[in-house]
Structure formats: C-alpha cells, structure tokens
Amino acid sequence: MTSSGIPVPTVSAARLRRDLEHVAGYGATASGGVSRTSFSEADRQVRAWLVNECEQAGLALRTDGIGNVFIRLEARDAAAGTPPVWAGSHLDSVPEGGRFDGALGSLAALEVVRRLAEEDVPLRRPVEAVVFADEEGSYHHLLGSTAVAHGFTADELARLRGRDGDLLVDALEGMGWDPAAATRTAVRPGDVHAYVELHIEQGSVLESAGAGIGVVTAIVGMGGGHIEFRGRQDHAGTTPMPRRRDALRGAGDLLVRLPEAARSVSETAVATCGILHVEPGGANVVPGLARVQLDFRDSDRTRILQLEEAIVSAARDVADCHGLEMSYTRESITDPVPLNPRMQELVATAAADQGMKTLNLPSGAGHDAQNVARLAPTGMIFVPSVDGRSHSPAELTTWEDVEAGANVLLATVLALATE
C-alpha cells in the first residue's frame, strides 16, 4: 500500500525481460554487446520501436528538439499544469557497450507507465517516462539532460562535434529534426515534481556486500577536454631518433603520467583517455599531431579543477621534453551532486517494503540524474552488476535483480505520483 492506501502493482518481469532482450538487438555486436551510439542507425531503430510500443499501449510520446523522449501518463485526479513525476534513463550506448546501461532504466520506466495505465491507478500527478538523448556523450557529456537542465544556445550547439568530427547540428538534421528546436529544450525548476532513475551499479560494491538494491547518495562530477600535441611530420626511416619531434611520443608520455596526476588530487580521482587521434596516420610517418581525449572525475568540483590543472601541467612538461607545442581545450565540466535525502528515504522504504537488503553508496559513473537534480528532487536506484563489469559487452545483471529494481522504481514513482 502507498501512504494514501493505494495497492502497489508490480511490473511484468517477463515483458520487461522481453523488451530488454529485444532492444539489445538494435546495434547488437558480434561480441554480444551493443553499439548504439546516439543518432546512429541503431538509435534511430530503437526510437522507432519505442514509438510503436507506445502507440500499441495507447501512450502519448513526444520528442523534444535534442531528441529526449517523454512518454506521458495523465493523472485522473490532477489539475491542469500539475508538474509530472519523471522516471527514466537513456537508450544510447558507448561503442561496444553492454545491454543494461541506460536500457534498464528506460525500459523499466516504460514498464512502470504501462502498469500504472493498465491498473488505472488513481494518480494525483502525471507520470512521464523520459529517455534522455546522448547520455554517453558522443557529442557532449549527458547531452540531453544538459539541454533540459541548462539549455544550449545556437552557438554552443553549432560547436559540438562527435567522435568522428561530425557536427551535432548535422546529426540532428540527419534524424529529421530542426536544430533550431534544440535551443528550446530547457525546463524550469518546479516544472518537474521529482525524478527517479533506475540503473545498474556498474561497479562491484553491491555484489560484494550482498545487497540487492543500492540507494544512491551522490553522483561524481565529470570533466571532459582534449590536449593537442603538435610536432613535425617526418619520414620514419630517415629521421634519426634524437631529431624527431614526434607528437605521439608526447601523447604517450602524458598517458603514463595520468595516474600520478590523479593521485596528486585524491585517492578517488580518475583520469582516462579512451580516444587518441593521430595525424597523418601512416605506419611509416612520424606523427605531426596527436590529440588526447580526456575524461577526468572526482566527487568534488574543486578537486576536478585541480585534476584538470595537474593534467595540463604534466602535458606542458611533456611538450617541453619532446620539443612539441601543446594546447588544451576544456569541453565541459558537469558538477558532482548530492542526491535529495527524502528521495533516498523513499527508495530505501520502497526496497525495504519488498524485503530487499539495501546499501547507500555514491555513483562513480555519470548519470542524467545529476543534471535533473538541478530542477527537481532526484533519486537513483542501483541494482548489482555481475563482477562490476560495465561499458563492456561483459555487462550483466541477473533477471531477478532487474525485476527487483523495476519494482522498487514502480513503488517509488507511485509514492511520488500519489502524494
């Protein structure tokens, strides 16, 4: 029962599993993972599937200018304009990612909306399942939720490029959308009653503790940027080693120094280069340019800025050592956030009501929830990741944990929509 005496329905575990398995087919890779990067053909296909599912279920679906999807269930007992409860996540993946990151929270939110509709539960607030665009940051860290929480100007949008150097505005046009509409996505604080996101933990804390549900206390902050080293392009056979100004050697030297840069800031700071671009890219050519794409994180904003400075300072030193020029471009800083204590309580209560063992923990992964937390009270529910694996085809969560997490999501959304 909710506090207002309404029986809490449960999700259809079989339907949720069917949806997760089906959606894993969009962008499925030979390794058993998923490559469904934002605005790709696979992304287009999963969006079309979602539209069709909602049509079948009689649910209204709307897509905003940047590609965020809102699936709405009206409340019988709500005055017009009552702010909705949001639940959601994302359906894009990293290249060669897993089947659960984002898909779990998105499809569980869809299932929650379907169950509330089927049971014709008397709600006092509308509920919207939200699927955020480009959470994985092909074009910008947490693109869709940043567009909702902060908004983008046309100039900012025009500068954003994807991993392959393509322009975001071209990608939006390629999806059949008007890029001008992407400047009109911001939502005002107060326009959303609350937001809840179910997600796999992507680490091994819950598994180690034997807890089935994680109550997320805070989300890490993320910095993104790139360092470019410029040297001199030369012949690989005729240029003696001491005379080279090899841009890639500088990049390699910087990568070796990243652990020390992170350690100098805190025990939990992390820095990663997952994309390295080398020009001109010939096996027999000394590289003239190397671009190091960086992701750096900490739970404290000041320390993120210190980490950025430590990396840039190491890069300056490296450039001096190898006779290179270097430049740094910051792309974004997404602040860490604590999650709302009352939302943590609601999640913990919903889990305890279902007999689940819970554990409070912070998230080392970024989530759209950290942007939405600027707009509305926000909570996150984690379920265990087998062996802590994520951003890999090895990502796995048991169907039992999927069902438990989805039921905790349903109960939390219902508590919020009936208060």
Shortest gap between Cβ of 378 and ligand GLV (angstroms)? 16
Q: What is the DSSP letter of 34?
A: B
Is 366 a binding residue for ligand GLV by CB under 6 A? The answer is yes
Spatial separation of the C-alpha atoms in residues 418 and 250, rounded to whole Å: 58
Find tokens 């805070």 and name the residue.
Answer: 218
Query: CB-wise, 53 or 136, nearer to ligand GLV?
Result: 136
Alpha carbon 180 to chain centroid distance?
Answer: 24
Is 186 a binding residue for ligand GLV by CB under 6 A? The answer is no
Shortest gap between Cβ of 29 and Mn ion (angstroms)? 16
Element (H, E) at 224: strand 221-230
Shortest gap between Cβ of 42 and Mn ion (angstroms)? 15
Rounded to 5°, angle at Cα 7 from 60 and 78: 45
Shortest gap between Cβ of 272 and ligand GLV (angstroms)? 10
Query: CB-wise, 93 or 407, nearer to ligand GLV?
Result: 93
> Mask 1-30, x = binds Mn ion (CB under 5 A)?
------------------------------
Is 394 a binding residue for ligand GLV by CB under 6 A? The answer is no
The site for ligand GLV, by CB under 6 A, has a size of: 3
Name which of residues 105 to 164 contact ligand GLV (CB under 6 A): 136
The SS3 of residue 70 is strand
Shortest gap between Cβ of 155 and Mn ion (angstroms)? 28
Nearest to 339 by CA among 307, 303, 370: 370
Is 101 a binding residue for Mn ion by CB under 5 A? The answer is yes
366 binds, among ligand GLV, Mn ion, none (CB under 5 to 8 A by kind): ligand GLV
377 binds, among ligand GLV, Mn ion, none (CB under 5 to 8 A by kind): none
| Residue 378 near residue 196 (C-beta atoms within 8 A) | yes
| Buried/exposed code over 110-143 (b: 16+ C-beta within 10 A; e: otherwise) | bbbbbbbbeeebebbbbbbbbbbbbbbbbbbbbb
Is 365 a binding residue for ligand GLV by CB under 6 A? The answer is yes
Is 255 a binding residue for ligand GLV by CB under 6 A? The answer is no
Query: CB-wise, 307 or 351, nearer to ligand GLV?
Result: 307
- What is the 3-state secondary structure of 265-315? CCCCCEEEEEEEEEECCCCCEECCEEEEEEEEEECCHHHHHHHHHHHHHHH
Shortest gap between Cβ of 136 and ligand GLV (angstroms)? 6
Shortest gap between Cβ of 202 and ligand GLV (angstroms)? 7
| Residue 71 near residue 58 (C-beta atoms within 8 A) | no
User: Of residues 27, 88, 98, 102, which one binds Mn ion by CB under 5 A?
Assistant: 102
Spatial separation of the C-alpha atoms in residues 98 and 344, rounded to whole Å: 27
> Mask 273-292, x = binds Mn ion (CB under 5 A)?
--------------------
Spatial separation of the C-alpha atoms in residues 71 and 189, rounded to whole Å: 20
| Chain residues in the site for ligand GLV (CB under 6 A) | 136, 365-366
